[in-house]
């Protein structure tokens, strides 16, 4: 089961994403990035974080340790911004923490040019994202970190932020397990991902037993009051049933057609040109912030 810690000091909010997670210190002397139950995304995002993060870990991928973080809003009373205080005040009790990775860096397009990713690892990460319908690991928002950047161990890719995965749980009756998604612009799509090897290796590991194991990590409190389900156990079984069916339907959704780096650059250039054509003259000197890759930043920037 996930370890439980108690937050002892609220350090600062991270404003890059809509959920506004916060950096906290805990009673185990660790530092964590905490996602709060009172955020606009609600507890479903935390459920997705736990199920996908722990499934990734059991499949051999690197995910910072997840903990259940008890939070007392009183420790954030010094926070000067009212909207952040409102979030903290709406999140007493159990929240979700992710181990802080000091010195880690975002896996940006610039970093990708100098940090080669093995096709086997790229394939396994994309396979996990396709299985769990994670639509938020793109070129411009990779939710991948390179860590450590300093130290004795070589840098490795770490997976973060899975709150946008498992999109089917927002409309249980409207999403078929065999549904395909467009993964052509996945952050790792141009590393020649070996999808067949990933399928052959990972699919046999995703059993009902494993899925029950990871869904048991989700606190009951985050699975109550789900429309159409009587108990948290029923909700867990729904996740198990859906993901089991999705594994069996992998031929329908397995992504294999990825653009090359050159093809993707050409698409970006065309899109940027369209954007510039649609701007008034006085705005054309302003860079297209959505089309240009973000500068390399501290890892916390993409934890929204």
Q: Kindly state whether residue 188 falls inside one of the protein's structural domains.
A: yes
Domain encompassing residue 197:
105-253
C-alpha span between 195 and 124 (Å, rounded): 7
Lowest mean pLDDT among 30-39, 111-120, 173-182, 209-218: 173-182
| Bond preceding residue 148 cis, omega within 30 of 0 | yes
Which residue shows structure tokens 């130290």? Answer: 151
Q: Kindly state whether residue 133 falls inside one of the protein's structural domains.
A: yes
Among 208, 233, 253, where does a domain finish?
Answer: 253
Q: How many residues appear in the chain?
A: 304
Q: Kindly state whether residue 260 falls inside one of the protein's structural domains.
A: no
> Tokens for 203?
């699919």
- Residue 233 sits in the same domain as residue 133: yes
Among 71, 103, 135, where does a domain finish?
Answer: 103
pTM for the whole thing? 0.86
Give me the pLDDT at residue 294, please. Answer: 38
Phi/psi for 52 (5° steps) reads -75, -40
> Tokens for 301?
């920037």
Q: Kindly state whether residue 264 falls inside one of the protein's structural domains.
A: no
Q: How confident is the model at residue 173 (pLDDT cuts 50, 70, 90)?
A: confident
Q: How confident is the model at residue 302 (pLDDT cuts 50, 70, 90)?
A: very low
> Tokens for 219?
């606190």
**Per-chain mean pLDDT for the chain:** 89
- Residue 130 sits in the same domain as residue 83: no
Q: What is the rounded average pLDDT of the residues 91-108?
A: 95
- Residue 114 sits in the same domain as residue 222: yes
pLDDT at residue 57 above 80? yes
> Tokens for 47?
């459920």
The burial of 70, by beta-carbon neighbours within 10 Å (0-12 exposed, 13-18 middle, 19 or more buried), is given as middle
Structural domains counted in the chain: 2
Q: What is the rounded average pLDDT of the residues 139-152?
A: 85
Q: Kindly state whether residue 301 falls inside one of the protein's structural domains.
A: no
- Residue 120 sits in the same domain as residue 243: yes
Which residue shows structure tokens 């996908």? Answer: 52
- Residue 204 sits in the same domain as residue 82: no
- Residue 151 sits in the same domain as residue 99: no
Give me the pLDDT at residue 304, please. Answer: 39
Within 8 A by CB and 6+ apart from 33, the residues are: 14, 21, 22, 23, 97, 98, 100, 300, 303
- Residue 11 sits in the same domain as residue 85: yes
Give me the pLDDT at residue 278, please. Answer: 67
Strands (E), the chain: 3-13, 22-26, 31-35, 66-71, 93-99, 105-106, 144-147, 156-159
Q: Kindly state whether residue 299 falls inside one of the protein's structural domains.
A: no
C-alpha span between 243 and 59 (Å, rounded): 15
Report the DSSP pairing between strands 144-147 and 31-35.
Answer: unpaired
- Residue 151 sits in the same domain as residue 43: no
Q: What is the rounded average pLDDT of the residues 142-158?
A: 86
Among 51, 86, 103, where does a domain finish?
Answer: 103
Q: Kindly state whether residue 181 falls inside one of the protein's structural domains.
A: yes
- Residue 113 sits in the same domain as residue 54: no
Which residue shows structure tokens 């991928």? Answer: 61
- Residue 9 sits in the same domain as residue 87: yes
Give me the pLDDT at residue 289, please. Answer: 41
- Asked if residues 134 and 165 have their Cβ atoms less than 8 Å apart, the reply is yes
3-state secondary structure of 162: coil
pLDDT at residue 18 above 90? no
- Residue 111 sits in the same domain as residue 229: yes
H-type alpha helices, the chain: 42-58, 82-89, 109-114, 119-131, 195-202, 208-215, 232-248, 250-253, 261-277
- Residue 83 sits in the same domain as residue 143: no
Report the DSSP pairing between strands 3-13 and 66-71.
Answer: parallel
Q: How confident is the model at residue 297 (pLDDT cuts 50, 70, 90)?
A: very low
> Tokens for 51?
């199920």
Give me the pLDDT at residue 292, please. Answer: 40
> Tokens for 174?
């409207």
């Amino acid at each position: 089961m996930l370890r439980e810690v108690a937050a002892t000091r609220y350090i600062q909010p991270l404003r890059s994403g809509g959920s506004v997670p916060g950096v906290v210190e805990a009673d185990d002397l660790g530092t964590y990035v905490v996602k709060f139950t009172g955020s606009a995304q609600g507890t479903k995002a935390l459920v997705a974080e736990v199920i996908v993060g722990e499934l990734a870990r059991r499949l051999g991928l690197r995910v910072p340790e997840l903990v259940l973080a008890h939070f007392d809003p009183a420790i954030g009373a010094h926070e000067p911004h009212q909207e952040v205080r409102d979030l903290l005040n709406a999140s007493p009790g159990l929240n979700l923490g992710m181990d802080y990775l000091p010195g880690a860096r975002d896996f940006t397009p610039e970093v990708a040019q100098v940090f080669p990713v093995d096709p086997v690892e790229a394939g396994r990460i994309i396979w996990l994202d396709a299985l769990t319908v994670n639509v938020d690991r793109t070129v411009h928002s990779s939710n991948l970190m390179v860590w450590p950047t300093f130290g004795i161990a070589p840098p490795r890719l770490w997976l973060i932020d899975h709150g946008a995965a498992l999109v089917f749980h927002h409309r249980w009756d409207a999403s078929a397990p065999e549904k395909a998604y467009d993964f052509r612009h996945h952050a790792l799509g141009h590393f020649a991902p070996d999808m067949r090897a990933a399928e052959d290796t990972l699919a046999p590991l995703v059993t009902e037993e494993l899925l029950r194991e990871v869904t048991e990590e989700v606190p009951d409190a985050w699975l109550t009051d789900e429309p159409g389900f009587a108990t948290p156990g029923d909700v867990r079984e729904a996740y198990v049933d859906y993901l089991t069916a999705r594994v069996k339907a992998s031929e329908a959704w397995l992504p294999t057609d990825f653009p090359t780096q050159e093809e993707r650059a050409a698409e970006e250039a065309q899109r940027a040109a369209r954007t510039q054509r649609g701007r008034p003259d006085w705005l054309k000197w302003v860079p297209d912030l959505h089309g240009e890759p973000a500068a390399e930043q501290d890892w916390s920037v993409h934890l929204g």
